[in-house]
Amino acid sequence: MTFRLRRDHPGTRVGMSEDPARRLSPPEQRAAAEALRAGLALSGLDVGDLWRASIALDQDAVPPAELHRILQSREDAVRLTAHEHDVLAQALNDHFVERGDGHPVRYSTELRYF
């Protein structure tokens, strides 16, 4: 996984969770799905594009069928690990950085949930 320095917080690396293997809690999973859906909508990419970009970052990325379930917030979706969410967020954010739009998709340590 690649990490980029944030422009709004110089010197800090994003996408790093203290425990990347930790599964997201149900509220975190909902927040992650919402963040990924919003990023996908803003990006103009489709799910296939997101999957291909994520597999380029991590060969163990979430499989396409599972990614669809996660994005639909289906009850039968496997809960993401912090690392898996961060790979997907990084893939979307790389697209936005290429367009000069920064990092609009939140990483696992930045998710807001209730």
| Digit-coded pLDDT (tens) for 15-66 | 556 788 899 999 999 999 999 999 999 999 999 999 999 999 999 999 999 9
pTM: 0.84
Instruction: Check residue 11 and give its pLDDT.
Output: 38
CA torsion angle for 35, 39, 42, 44 (degrees, to 10)? -140
User: Which are the contacts of 65, defined by CB distance < 8 A and separation ≥ 6?
Assistant: none
Task: Output the six-digit token pair for 36.
Answer: 């990924």
Instruction: Check residue 110 and give its pLDDT.
Output: 92
